[in-house]
Structure 1
Amino acid sequence: MGHKDDQLTRVAFGVSEATDAARADARRLLEADTALHAEWIAGLAMNSAAPEEILRRVFTIDPLPDPQRWLAYRKLPPKTARAAVAHPDPQVRRIIAENPYLPPEALAVLAQDPDPKVQRVAVVMAREYGVELPTEVTVRLATGPEARLRYFAAGLPGLPDETLLSLAEDPDPRVRAAAISSWSWPRLRPEVRAAAEADPDPQVRKAVEGATHIEVPLPTTVEDFLAETDERRRRDAASTAPVDAALAALLTTHDDSALRHGAARNPHVPTALALALASDAEPFVRLAVSLRADVTEEQRAGIDYNVPPGRHPVPAWVKEAFGDPDALREIAASSHVLLRRGVTCALELPGDVVERLAADDDYYVRLMLCENDHAPHELLVEMFADWNGLSWGTLAYRRNFARCGLARLADEPNFRLRYAALFDPQAEPELVERLSHDTNRLVRNHAAADPRLPRPRLVELLGEHGLPRAAARNPALPTELMHQLLNVAGVDR
């Protein structure tokens, strides 16, 4: 423990043998370390056990140290969110409003913020993430003096119908355009529709065009297909329309590989014609044929296809099989890796299918089984240790990730397994303390925030040579010690 860390123990936690002079000297030393204070403040703000009085103290600090780093994207405990939205600095409140994990009640407060920039960010976030604000708030925004807020409010969920319809007569053309849709158009009064059709603003007329547009059926015959000038509709027809035999034959032999690819995917194209594309010059066309529902496993195995790296959409016919255990068993036994991957996306899977997929040779079949919450414990631990995706840590929260017994992994060479050992509810304080000295910082941080960590080690980690932010986040930190940290940092009580 360094000199300053030892002084922290004496000052903040009242070690009895410290003299008054030593405490005063140590307090001066600690009060000068603003970087250490910033770590304590960030940790206390995220401490799930911090009482309201602590959080109110934290969020009176102005300026708040580096709020973008720890307030913008972290999931905030409800008490933290309540305290944070009352911070005096509008820039801090704007950062909080941008947090996609902010609880709805906190976002509702910021949607009524006195600062226009904060208010706009909060309303945009509510609209983007579909957060339903209290009705009185949405009505106030939709009828307020600022046109930009009225524009955003037009897209808020929960806005009363009558308020939304009234916005079609708003003085601002952007707001009028936002209020016109295929839903609102037939509900508007005739004179409002007439005014919108004759509106001088192009945004409004474009909204009217979209609201009144009637989708023409896609071409299904050669004659209609050749007459179609919209390239997007031609490709949609190739891949989804109930084409007749003549158009199917044209598409499967067309010079445009995109149209051949569409025909290979189209379930309305006869199997025999689709199979003619099994030897197509384009790999993506051959892959599309290999994924058809009407191709037998023997035919599938005879197609020279390659599966490019990355995510692939689940074929529609595989999705239709979700809920049919026998169909899922059949698809899970397919030789086609993309079909087996698709099966993992079903909400429910029979036990024997889970067992088969958990032993699959394809890494991504096993990984997707974990992502979709079906995997057995052993596979989850394997992927937790091995997968390099950004969200590997979330695997520890899957329903089958059994935590009891994970302490056995505390001596594993793989740091992720040592990290997993701390999830064991039966892990002893001695083990937590040992892992707080681990060579890996992530493991040390996890141990520092573990409430089973012995108090002397927790105090040590609050020092400049420890892990002050993680230790300040430890829910076992007594309230009075939290106050002591803020006292030392010079925060008003």
Structure 2
Amino acid sequence: MNRVPHGLAANPSLPASLVDRLIALADEDLASELAERGDLRHDQVVALAARDEHTARSLAFAGLLTAADVDPVARPLTALALLDTGAGRPEWARLLARHPVVRHREELASCAGLPDDVIEALAVDPALDVVHELAAFTPEPAMAARLARHPHAQVRRGVAVNEATPPAVLAALLTGEGLPAATACLVCDSKPIPYEHDPNCPDPDCTLFGGAACDGSHQSTVHDTLHGVLGNPATPPDVAARFVDHPSLLLRWSLAERPGLPPEVYARLARDPAPGVRAAVAGNPAVGDETLRTIAADPDPAVRRALAHHPALPLDVLTTLAETTRLGSATLPRIAAASTDELRELAAGRPSVRALVAARHDLPPDLRDALAADPDAKVLRAVAPHPGLTEELLRAMVATHGVGVHARVAANPGAPGALLEELARQEPPVRRALREIAGHPNATAGALARCLGDPRAAEIAAAHPALSPSLLASLLTGPDEGLAEAAARNPALPREVMEGLVP
């Protein structure tokens, strides 16, 4: 398959006349790539939409098509996309509510702003999937409350996740109080009960989920409904809190992620036997200091790592975690929110704490430069990509710590071309450094030539405008289709070369 046209489709320098030529020959894949361009004229959008309905649909979601551009009979999926974005016409909804394809009616049911008569029709649709979709997405509290009393448990499962469902109705779905019992579920619709579905079911036509079960109580669907309600922010916290000791791990986990629960509930969940539940509590912004300090002593490192990402974590707890837990290289939320005085205080701490500060790349210049001269390699790796570092400091890092900091120095946006070329010539090559150099705006032709030798850096380098014209030409005609496509994306490609590549 010739991938060069696909590269050209993404080339920002491609002239409009060549865009027209590509549209005229586009299949579904090429049309999809052309649809990502940000310079399409409206007539090009319309022509592209005519090539493929899936592309037309993405253009509609992007707001590039209008109702006047779409025939809902010929392009129902595109019409549905416009309805979903609020740009469709009410008469389309009425037409699609009677469409013979169930999937189209199902998608219609998830659209906002539908006429009342369409909503009523969808609520009594003979296809259960359509009613379930309406239950999950209707913005009308009264309709959600009505569907919560539907005899089929699958419909109630949709109501459970709908944030428009009234809190009292969500509470009733949790407790069962005030609602008639469901009379059916997907399991007992299709299997004699009691039945529990084999997760390794060999039937290719089976649509039941692994573990789906019914003994007459519709237990797996009821469980999924409870899970949906506990994850719904409209659910009353006091009712949700009753599930703190529920035997289901998934339900306790969902509860642990909720805001607004009483402190004692979070404290109990922080002692849960399941690490996943404790980690969910650790990352919950609603959890207070006392419980956070308790979690800091958790034996599971994954729980402590989750705690380190808590946005309001006390700094003394964070410094303790830095000594006991590998926290990664990303800027932690509490570090991102720290004041300048707090940053300076932390930067006087141990290397693991200094590295946390160095990961923040908007530091005061004097603090940034002090960390750039730190004797610890971990601190230097964190601060090396910081904008504003001088070439002298970057070279000093390389001289002091060698290949251990090459990739991070290469990631610095101000790294000069000469330094990048020196890093690219390292033997044996530092692969991660080559990948950073390949996409660096200051990379030289010499550095990029070296990057072509790394399988993961090569395609990035092939699209770099500083790549030498001779290498660029060789990639376009070479045997590697991935490199040829990347080279065709290169914005430095001459127009006459582009014209020769378009059939």
Q: Which residue pairs with 1:267 in the alignment?
A: 288
User: C-alpha distance in 1, partners of 2:469/2:277?
Assistant: 69
Question: 1:105 Cα shift?
Answer: 4.0
User: C-alpha distance in 2, partners of 1:259/1:453?
Assistant: 48
Equivalent position to 1:307, from 319, 325, 342: 325
What secondary structure does 2:413 align onto?
coil
**Structure 1 residues 331, 201: CA separation in 2 closer, same or farther (over 3 Å shift)?**
farther
CA deviations 1:380-413 (Å, max 9, x no partner) are 9999x9799xxx99x86xxx7137x414533541
Equivalent position to 1:136, from 73, 82, 88: 88
Q: Does 1:401 align with 2:408?
A: no
What secondary structure does 1:167 align onto?
helix
Q: Which residue pairs with 2:223 in the alignment?
A: none
**Structure 1 residues 197, 421: CA separation in 2 closer, same or farther (over 3 Å shift)?**
closer
Q: Which residue pairs with 2:499 in the alignment?
A: 483
Equivalent position to 1:152, from 96, 107, 116: 107
Q: Which residue pairs with 1:440 in the alignment?
A: 453
The amino acid across from 2:339 in the alignment is: D
Contact 1:354 1:374 in 2 (8 A): no
What secondary structure does 1:213 align onto?
helix
Contact 2:304 2:325 in 1 (8 A): no
Whichever of the two has the greater Rg, that structure is 1
What secondary structure does 1:184 align onto?
coil
What aligned pairs does 1:373-452 form with structure 2 within 5 A after superposition? Answer: 376=389, 401-402=413-414, 405-411=416-422, 412-414=424-426, 416=433, 420=437, 432=445, 440=453
Q: Does 1:178 align with 2:133?
A: yes
What aligned pairs does 1:210-229 form with structure 2 within 5 A after superposition? Answer: 211=165, 212-214=169-171, 215-217=235-237
User: Looking at both structures, which has the greater relative contact order when contacts are Cα pairs under 8 Å and sequence separation is at least 6?
Assistant: 1
The amino acid across from 1:213 in the alignment is: L
Q: Which residue pairs with 2:25 in the alignment?
A: 61
Question: 1:54 Cα shift?
Answer: 1.4
Q: Which residue pairs with 2:184 in the alignment?
A: none
CA deviations 1:389-445 (Å, max 9, x no partner) are xxx99x86xxx7137x414533541475698488567x8xxx748955976267776
Q: Which residue pairs with 2:197 in the alignment?
A: none
Question: 1:213 Cα shift?
Answer: 1.3
CA deviations 1:156-203 (Å, max 9, x no partner) are 6xx44x6489536524354444344698344x4xxx567535544444
Q: Which residue pairs with 1:41 in the alignment?
A: 5
CA deviations 1:293-330 (Å, max 9, x no partner) are 56847x965x8974257689957xx27x7163334444
Aligned residues between the structures: 401
Question: 1:332 Cα shift?
Answer: 5.4
What secondary structure does 1:58 align onto?
helix
**Structure 1 residues 377, 116: CA separation in 2 closer, same or farther (over 3 Å shift)?**
farther
- In structure 2, list runs of 5 or more residues that go unmatched: 172-234
Equivalent position to 2:37, from 77, 83, 98: 77
What aligned pairs does 1:350-361 form with structure 2 within 5 A after superposition? Answer: 350-351=364-365, 354-355=368-369, 361=376
Contact 1:369 1:375 in 2 (8 A): no
**Structure 1 residues 255, 401: CA separation in 2 closer, same or farther (over 3 Å shift)?**
closer
Question: 1:289 Cα shift?
Answer: 8.8
The amino acid across from 2:87 in the alignment is: T
The amino acid across from 1:52 in the alignment is: A
Aligned-residue Cα RMSD (Å) equals: 6.3
Q: Does 1:326 align with 2:333?
A: no
